[in-house]
Structure 1
């Protein structure tokens, strides 16, 4: 889960970043100022939203009524869901990856939530809408949303100090730790070098040992003044949640997000994925092709950074919430706060071909990346752990959400995301081909009924089958 972007914040430092949070939260409702004696909370306008589903993705009972928002603009004719599904089928039919899962939502409705390919090359079962994948760093948005809901009810504040809950926590510079806030943790502005102690985590050094060892790491900047991606330090938010509520972090995520959103396949931790009714095994490259392996427990040690597991069905509901159609669970003012960039990450605009071609700016918000994608705001994140890759994005001005997950260490499916975004924005397909495949519209990996999320079979040939 490496991210080497290190740049100064666009908002001019710590005070400006906190001012953005205050503007977003206070601009929508009258609230108590953020001071140590009077915690603020975000007002919640509990307006239920609707969800139309396909592939047997069940709507939850409290999303049947429409919210008060105007209808989303129609998607261009070039946004062809059947074509995107055919691309997914072609990728798995060619064994570019063993299995893939994809969810697409628009205007609070599920356009597609399906699985393709197989869960395990050594024991092939078809991937369906309820097959669970590791989300890796897509988990960070669940951490920020959980923290935000605690801010919303007055339990926490964005400027709550880490040392108020972990008084013994230290950084290498005396007194520096006392300046770390909830917002700093969730936007990677702790002042540490990027990915501090990730390699030790991968060597099975336990999380609590690593949090103590952060005191030995020289700081690259004062707390709150620069960006450097973290997993160990980011996960300190879980300790804050426990200290503030008395509940384990996983329980708070389940109670505040997974259960009310109807994410019924979702779980946290290694035990969670292994107890799933159907889950996709991770795959690495071997001499003869793909090899399935057991999931590594390492990044599950940092649950806020990388601990969530979910299916396409789950991610469809998560996308509906992230596009503003579940204000009963994530209020609109909170969602705006979570998606507001606090620090520049210009390296991201150069880190891949589609980013170089499309991004005009890049920043990090609270558990989310925010891009200017050809003049349009894109809220995005990617994730990677051994044997799994994931991507999620929303286009607010199109009311569109997309998630893609796959269980093999290949970069090919990552081209699905910019392909769909281009089509949603009406960018001509001949300008750039982000997925290097010949689309086979007759691919037969999924031949089931439109309302049946379980593929009837798989024609995959058997194959022998790093953390980022």
Structure 2
């Protein structure tokens, strides 16, 4: 590894401490506060598509890893995948296969960029940890000290919410609350809308009483970093995380697709095969959700990122102190242990740190996270006591593939030679999903376009305090639902029995939604709910509470 260090990292650290900021907002110019750092380039084993590449040490059992890779590609008909394994502090095995876009002939390479989705969270948390090291903020600082406009539904929670609380999913909000301000993309919500909307999201439990995964708090965390760092979140992340660790291909904010080189595109599976969806244009725009799940990186970079945690160099230990590394991996919020966790991995304890999940697996400690966006899946798994781990990135509908790959690759380490088989875990997963009570999705095959005079629908314009305005109005092709702030949430209103259902125009919008209308004495309300009650929590229609504000224009 080539290392270029600043002559004296202590001087800028002292300056940063002197310049510590106690307040500020998200708007207006900010003075830049550069943290101490260095430039590090990391050489990672590279390979052409579907060709094995190993470090000089090599993998303990490359044939087993090849088998895992090939079984997953074949069983799940994945458009493309990149997978790398670290053993004892070295990249031991790398393999890629498939295409960046199905049918394009462009192979997935170790340098191909993938959306890492929620694996972005650990990078955001590490940026804040760097600022704590520099004395720019403290984990127990009130959020309002740095973002005076920050408000939660409860004034006491607003006052008591600390920076650390933004990272550990204990806000009391429902799982995925407010995610409709982030996805589907693109939409018109900005980070100021996120912060304003939080005041209207109602909690489902008391503050710090339990775990419920959220994304909005990470968006707020990114704005805290920006407020104390004097630059936009994207600028800080590039300067304080990507550059010091040599994550040269990682992208955040606006960037050029051509300049980035190989870029994987998300896919959905149809009867005719994998089809690319929401493909990038020449310029990839900055997105509101960056701090929660908007970073893209290559397999090379994700392996370099993993090595920073598993086997940090002396320079990397300067990049982040041992104290803050410990904080990142401390158990801050307990997580439930599922039946699958117990049966597959003999897990007894799970918890959430700062951007990381922690768990015991077959008697070994693991630190990990997953990333999920429409048409993109990733997992980063670390076994710190072994200085080992793995990275998997998929550019297709890979939920099941990721589950079984994670299981098989874990067994490669914890039960070598016995259970590292994708097909065996796939069969177990499919048996769970075909259980008699597995699906609660109602039959909607009787759906037909709804009439404007249907008594179960009240036409008009409606407003929700955090999601904004929508219309339910008669148009040439029937009654339509249209969102002002999230244009992809537009579709025809259908009748299913005596209920109304929105059939979204865009097939990539994950879940359809029921619409229900009520008169409560103060006017007409409209509420919504997922067609599939067990569907992805980011489709948080249940948190919406629309009030009719005007007639259709």
Query: Which residue is equivalent to 1:452?
Result: none
Please tell me whether the aligned partners of residues 108 and 264 of structure 2 are also in contact (alpha carbons under 8 angstroms). yes
How far apart, in 2, do the equivalents of 1:386 and 1:377 lie?
Answer: 30
Which of 290, 293, 303 matches 1:316? Answer: 303
How far apart, in 1, do the equivalents of 2:412 and 2:40 lie?
Answer: 26
Q: In 2 relative to 1, CA 99–172 (structure 1 residues): closer, same or farther, beyond 3 Å?
A: same
Query: Which residue is equivalent to 2:386?
Result: 398
Answer with 1 or 2: which has the greater Rg.
Answer: 2
Please tell me whether the aligned partners of residues 378 and 394 of structure 1 are also in contact (alpha carbons under 8 angstroms). yes
Query: Which residue is equivalent to 2:114?
Result: 133
Secondary structure of the residue aligned to 1:113 is strand
Which of 404, 413, 431 matches 1:424? Answer: 413
Kindly provide the CA deviation profile for residues 383-404 of structure 1, in whole angstroms up to 9, marking residues without a partner as x.
1101100001100111112110
Which of 261, 281, 286 matches 1:277? Answer: 261
How far apart, in 2, do the equivalents of 1:243 and 1:124 lie?
Answer: 44
Q: In 2 relative to 1, CA 131–435 (structure 1 residues): closer, same or farther, beyond 3 Å?
A: farther
1:356 CA drift (Å)? 4.9
Query: Which residue is equivalent to 1:206?
Result: 189
Q: How does 1:51-450 map to 2 (within 5 A)?
A: 53-55=44-46, 79-92=60-73, 96-203=77-184, 204-207=187-190, 208-269=192-253, 271=255, 275-295=259-279, 300-325=287-312, 326-346=316-336, 349-350=337-338, 352=340, 356-410=344-398, 411-426=400-415, 429-430=418-419, 435-436=425-426
Please tell me whether the aligned partners of residues 377 and 396 of structure 1 are also in contact (alpha carbons under 8 angstroms). yes
Aligned pair count reads: 382
Q: In 2 relative to 1, CA 415–314 (structure 1 residues): closer, same or farther, beyond 3 Å?
A: same
TM norm structure 1: 0.73
Secondary structure of the residue aligned to 2:199 is helix
How far apart, in 2, do the equivalents of 1:276 and 1:49 lie?
Answer: 19
How far apart, in 1, do the equivalents of 2:333 and 2:151 lie?
Answer: 24
How far apart, in 1, do the equivalents of 2:42 and 2:183 lie?
Answer: 40
How far apart, in 2, do the equivalents of 1:118 and 1:174 lie?
Answer: 51
Please tell me whether the aligned partners of residues 260 and 329 of structure 1 are also in contact (alpha carbons under 8 angstroms). yes
Please tell me whether the aligned partners of residues 201 and 298 of structure 1 are also in contact (alpha carbons under 8 angstroms). no
Please tell me whether the aligned partners of residues 165 and 244 of structure 1 are also in contact (alpha carbons under 8 angstroms). yes
How far apart, in 2, do the equivalents of 1:122 and 1:273 lie?
Answer: 19
Kindly provide the CA deviation profile for residues 274-327 of structure 1, in whole angstroms up to 9, marking residues without a partner as x.
752011110001221111112589994211110110111101100101214132
How far apart, in 1, do the equivalents of 2:279 and 2:223 lie?
Answer: 24
Please tell me whether the aligned partners of residues 47 and 109 of structure 2 are also in contact (alpha carbons under 8 angstroms). no
Relative contact order (C-alpha < 8 Å, sep 6+): which is higher? 1
Q: In 2 relative to 1, CA 340–103 (structure 1 residues): closer, same or farther, beyond 3 Å?
A: same
1:368 CA drift (Å)? 0.5
Secondary structure of the residue aligned to 1:55 is coil
Secondary structure of the residue aligned to 1:104 is strand
Secondary structure of the residue aligned to 2:209 is coil
- Say which structure is richer in strand: 2
Query: Which residue is equivalent to 1:67?
Result: none
How far apart, in 2, do the equivalents of 1:213 and 1:49 lie?
Answer: 39
Which segments of 5 or more consecutive residues in structure 1 lack a partner in the other structure?
Answer: 1-31, 38-43, 58-73, 438-464
1:133 CA drift (Å)? 0.2
Q: In 2 relative to 1, CA 432–299 (structure 1 residues): closer, same or farther, beyond 3 Å?
A: farther
TM norm structure 2: 0.63
Secondary structure of the residue aligned to 2:108 is coil
Q: In 2 relative to 1, CA 53–359 (structure 1 residues): closer, same or farther, beyond 3 Å?
A: same
1:223 CA drift (Å)? 3.1
1:377 CA drift (Å)? 1.0
How far apart, in 1, do the equivalents of 2:421 and 2:67 lie?
Answer: 18
Please tell me whether the aligned partners of residues 189 and 226 of structure 1 are also in contact (alpha carbons under 8 angstroms). yes
Secondary structure of the residue aligned to 2:223 is helix
Secondary structure of the residue aligned to 2:269 is strand
